[in-house]
């Protein structure tokens, strides 16, 4: 998915100053962002924001739906570029058609993960299929570490099997949780999983104490280690925990997405669909896209023009650190 804001904000991301773990649970609220056009489907963006710009290497989280496609027009994102990141697509309902400049033609379906590596440069399009009436899911980005940010582009697809929990179920699309490990390759240790909780259930998930974690609630009245997390909110828990205790206080099943990874040790600059390390790197990537130098290839089969790049801000893009983690 593209960051299709007409005037994207400069987002400057980085690790804490001393690498120490964080205190308690932070609640990050979302802001609404239109996905382009006068009848645009709106997404709820919880990462990045000023309060926190990274959770592990996760640098971007959009949560959308349930969106009534006949009313909103659904998702139709024209070919657009990426560098320095991996995109992770995960749906709860609906189907999205993916095409990229590698020649990949795939579909994102509920319970199936598509991971695309931008690396040095890739372009892709995303369109809801004609028979999709309700679109609902999350779109996530992962920052690539410096040694791999110019890697060759790639595309992976995986269908995780459901894992039974005592009071729910998990589908692990990245990393390891509840005894299941995803085969999808990443360049830093990561966790990504959909978790459903039965009505009134409490589930304790063993996690890596070196990871920081985010819990994005899709539905249900959830408590994370006793802290209330409402639908569309993202709860942040710093390193040091060996378990995440999740309680569903609702009379209906609840659904959430658990993200995790070790604190990202590098400063990055994210602007539009690019993750880089310097202002000049972002300027060069934008120019390569606008001038069609071949760096991003071509997306075949999309019935329309590609997206133009927004105008750069009249300022030098520079990194900004996350809040300093504290001991739990």
Closest CA to 161 of 112, 197, 203, 205: 112
Give Cα separations from 130 to 93, 97, 301 (angstroms).
Answer: 14, 10, 15
Mean pLDDT of 149-171: 97
Q: pLDDT confidence of 99, banded at 50, 70, 90?
A: very high
Q: pLDDT confidence of 14, banded at 50, 70, 90?
A: very low
Question: What sign does the CA torsion over 62, 87, 69, 66 have?
Answer: negative
Mean pLDDT of 87-105: 97
CA pair distance 200, 187, nearest whole angstrom: 37
Mean pLDDT of 288-316: 96
- Given a contact cutoff of 8 angstroms between Cβ atoms, the answer to whether 168 and 195 are in contact is yes
Highest mean pLDDT, choosing among 20-29, 41-50, 139-148: 139-148
Closest CA to 245 of 206, 187, 284: 206
Q: Is the pTM of this model over 0.85?
A: yes
Q: Give the range among 28-42, 110-124, 256-270 with minimum mean pLDDT.
A: 28-42
Assigned token pair, 133: 């009436």
- Given a contact cutoff of 8 angstroms between Cβ atoms, the answer to whether 115 and 87 are in contact is yes
pLDDT at position 193 over 90: yes
CA pair distance 62, 41, nearest whole angstrom: 12
Note the pLDDT of residue 72: 82
pLDDT at position 322 over 50: yes
Find the radius of gyration of the CA atoms of the chain. 19
User: Furthest-apart CA pair in the chain: how many Å?
Assistant: 56
User: How high is the mean pLDDT of the chain?
Assistant: 90
């Amino acid at each position: 998915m593209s960051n299709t804001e007409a005037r994207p904000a400069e987002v400057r991301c980085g690790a804490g100053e001393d690498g120490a773990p964080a205190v308690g649970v932070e609640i990050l609220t979302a802001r609404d962002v239109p996905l382009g056009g006068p009848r645009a489907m709106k997404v709820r963006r919880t990462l990045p924001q000023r309060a926190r710009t990274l959770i592990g290497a996760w640098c971007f989280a959009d949560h959308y739906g349930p969106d009534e496609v006949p009313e909103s027009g659904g998702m139709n994102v024209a070919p657009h570029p990426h560098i320095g990141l991996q995109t992770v697509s995960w749906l709860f309902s609906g189907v999205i058609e993916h095409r990229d400049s590698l020649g990949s033609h795939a579909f994102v379906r509920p319970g199936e993960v598509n991971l695309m590596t931008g690396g040095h440069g890739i372009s892709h399009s995303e369109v809801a299929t004609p028979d999709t009436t309700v679109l609902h899911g999350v779109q996530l980005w992962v920052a690539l570490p410096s040694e791999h940010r110019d890697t060759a582009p790639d595309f992976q697809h995986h269908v995780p099997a459901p894992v039974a929990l005592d009071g729910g179920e998990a589908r692990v699309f990245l990393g390891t949780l509840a005894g299941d490990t995803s085969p999808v390759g990443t360049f830093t240790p990561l966790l990504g999983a959909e978790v459903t909780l039965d009505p009134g259930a409490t589930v304790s998930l063993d996690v890596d104490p070196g990871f920081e974690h985010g819990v994005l609630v899709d539905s249900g009245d959830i408590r994370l280690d006793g802290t209330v997390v409402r639908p569309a909110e993202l709860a942040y828990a710093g390193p040091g925990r060996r378990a995440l205790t999740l309680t569903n206080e609702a009379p209906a099943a609840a659904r959430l997405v658990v993200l995790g990874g070790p604190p990202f040790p590098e400063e990055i600059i994210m602007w539009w669909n690019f993750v880089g390390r310097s202002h000049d790197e972002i300027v060069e990537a934008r120019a390569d896209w606008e001038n069609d130098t071949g760096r991003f290839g071509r997306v075949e089969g999309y019935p329309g023009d590609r997206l133009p790049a927004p105008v750069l801000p009249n300022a030098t893009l520079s990194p900004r650190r996350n809040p300093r983690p504290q001991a739990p």
